[in-house]
Structure 1
Amino acid sequence: MRATDLPTLDRRWAVVPPVHRFTAMASRISVQLPTSSPDPAGACSEVEEIFSDVERRCSRFDPDSDLSRLNRHPGEWVVVSATCFEAVHEAFLAHRATGGRFDPRVLTSLLAIGYNRSFAFTHKPERTDPVTVDLSATATAASGWAPDFDPDGSAIRLGSHPIDLGGIGKGFALRRARQALVRRRAAESDWFLVEAGGDCVLGGDGPSGAGWSVGVEDPHGGADPSAVLRLSETSCATSSVRHRSWRAGDRPVHHIIDPGTGAPSRGGVLSVTVVDPDPARAEVTSKTLFLAGRSGIAAAAESVGRPAVWVDEAGVVAANSAAATVLTWRPSWP
């Protein structure tokens, strides 16, 4: 997903020059602010520190992170930072709100298919031997997740399964970044953009004053977008297998695990984009809609009431009725 301030689709993808770029959570992050905004350098530094803090506390790839300590002792009380406590609690609330369709206890499955280290979009993990683990044994949907939380002591007891915060961690960081930039702007109409690996928070109506044009990336790898959305003062997130897919031996796999089977989802959907004021909720909703598969996603997308656009394995682009208010360009649909 890419955001521009252009009122119509521009195939050259001219983008407002970013004020600041950095890398966190294996994603390229860009922060864009008007030069007239108060202390743009300080604002960009605060956003970078937010992402650094969430990654430092909540990465399963850092053995010293709070999350790693939790995962090593899932059945015990572990004292964690406020950041990790809030992130895990947010994941629990999302699990409960989705009836278990969002479930961070998929870590065992991710490790079994070779996702045992962080990797950038351009580098894939590799597991040369075929997956011999019975992934159905890692399914979690049959049992509810009920971690224990002690807010006074900032302690958590996960239960019997380690967890991966994955995309919700990025959505959580984007939420905090948005809150920081809203606090800093001089007027409600001031614009800002934070883009993190394709997920975005969009403040105001963009530099043009006509809204942000956001291109939904083609999950088949094409240079042109699958659709373009016009958004203002909101967030959007995409769950896609374009970048996080690889081979485990002779088996194609990806990172979106169905908690009901313990295996990568095979429902015929390649990407789902959701628009929501809250980036963490947008991330969760895009994942659960992806898991609904081609046969169930239309009904599921209507039920969430937020704009959603999806692309299936055949290249068909579809959307729910709520997306009609934000779609500004789309291919010819069947």
Structure 2
Amino acid sequence: MKNTSFPAIGTTAHLLVTDPAALAEADTMLRAFLSDLDRACSRFRTDSALSTVNSSGRASDVDPVLFAALRVAVRAAEETGGLVDPTLGRSMIAIGYDRSFADVPPSSATRVRPVRSGAAWREIVLDPATRSVTLPRGVQLDLGATAKAWAADVAATQIAERLGCGVLVNLGGDLAIAGPAPDGGWRVRVTADHAVSTGGQVIALRRGGLATSSTTVRTWRRADQVLHHVLDPATGLPAKRFWHYVSVAAADCVTANTASTAALVLGDRAPDWLAERDLAARLVAPDGTVTAVAGWPAEAMVSTMEVA
């Protein structure tokens, strides 16, 4: 088994393959796809396809990567009743997340004036025949909640199908698996910060996707408010910190990411919401208390987990 990592799309991309001879080509494929994703979906690039749509409110013959990512984002909104909302671009700008996170000032005396979405996602019009997008008036899109997870799914599948080996793609905590797993499965440390190699729980996955959403890794301060990047669409402000982080395992990374994001917004209602959907999850409170849902394994050193 071989691995590599590199900075991409504002995070760190980790790539593992079961065939060492396939790593170089797999790395090339992943870098190329993430470059395409950045040009299509970045909110921080003035030349991105997303910025063109956000500035005009309408576009035809939209970049195919962006159009596919938009369809995933709208579906996530539909499946969660708007808990995961792609129309929070103006809300993100209002709280100060108006540039790549590395460039966001850590503090400011200016107090936030929230912008609510008003469930504008229901009014997005996508036409597959012409690949056209029409946004409600004044709406700006932000695909941060789903595009990275979708990219992990697509990249892992493409690499596995082309190179015929087992693949794990991890994009800043959004993890997708494709192809045959190594003996014993892929060992993954589940924690709030994917860059940390201690703490959390180690599980072994054979297929599917895993996503962890946190209220503490990406934070900054405005006046007396400590902010983070997971917004509650109902308020336009960061979700209340009922959970330190939530990890969800599912059949694919998009499903896992959508659920982990929704769980942070739901707060104390999250365990029941996840259980109703039979989504295995590990929810960690600020005091370290762990709540396991829908078959998530016990806190053993290494627990094997099967995703349906």
TM-score by length of 2: 0.89
What is the match of residue 60 of structure 1?
43
- The residue type paired with residue 92 of structure 1 is V
CA distance in 1, matches of 2:107, 2:20: 50
Question: Following superposition of structure 1 onto structure 2, how do residues 90-129 of structure 1 map, counting pairs within 5 Å?
Answer: 90-120=72-102, 125-129=105-109
Q: Does 1:280 align with 2:260?
A: no
- The residue type paired with residue 176 of structure 1 is V
Q: What CA deviation, in whole Å up to 9, does each residue of 1:167-202 have, x standing for no partner?
A: 31101111111221221243xxx4222111122123
> Unpaired runs of 5+ in structure 2?
303-308
Q: What CA deviation, in whole Å up to 9, does each residue of 1:284-328 have, x standing for no partner?
A: 1110111110x212211201212111111222111103213x864
Question: Following superposition of structure 1 onto structure 2, how do residues 110-149 of structure 1 map, counting pairs within 5 Å?
Answer: 110-120=92-102, 125-133=105-113, 135=114, 138-141=115-118, 145-149=122-126
Tell me the CA shift for residue 34 of structure 1.
3.1
Q: Does 1:234 align with 2:208?
A: yes
Contact 1:192 1:204 in 2 (8 A): yes
2:151 to 167, 173, 176: 173
CA distance in 2, matches of 1:237, 1:152: 32
Tell me the CA shift for residue 36 of structure 1.
4.9
What is the match of residue 28 of structure 1?
12
Closer/same/farther in 2, CA of residues 285 and 66 from structure 1, 3 Å limit: same
1:192 to 164, 167, 170: 167
Closer/same/farther in 2, CA of residues 223 and 36 from structure 1, 3 Å limit: closer
Aligned CA RMSD, in angstroms, stands at 2.3
**Percent of residue pairs bearing the same amino acid type:** 29
What is the match of residue 260 of structure 1?
234
TM-score by length of 1: 0.82
CA distance in 1, matches of 2:39, 2:277: 32
Tell me the CA shift for residue 59 of structure 1.
0.3
Closer/same/farther in 2, CA of residues 289 and 316 from structure 1, 3 Å limit: same
User: Which SS does the other structure have where 1:261 is aligned?
Assistant: coil
Q: Does 1:163 align with 2:141?
A: yes
Q: Does 1:323 align with 2:303?
A: no
What is the match of residue 28 of structure 2?
45
Contact 2:62 2:133 in 1 (8 A): yes
Q: What CA deviation, in whole Å up to 9, does each residue of 1:226-252 have, x standing for no partner?
A: 222221112101111232111112210
Q: Does 1:86 align with 2:63?
A: no
Question: Following superposition of structure 1 onto structure 2, how do residues 193-208 of structure 1 map, counting pairs within 5 Å?
Answer: 193-203=168-178, 206-207=181-182
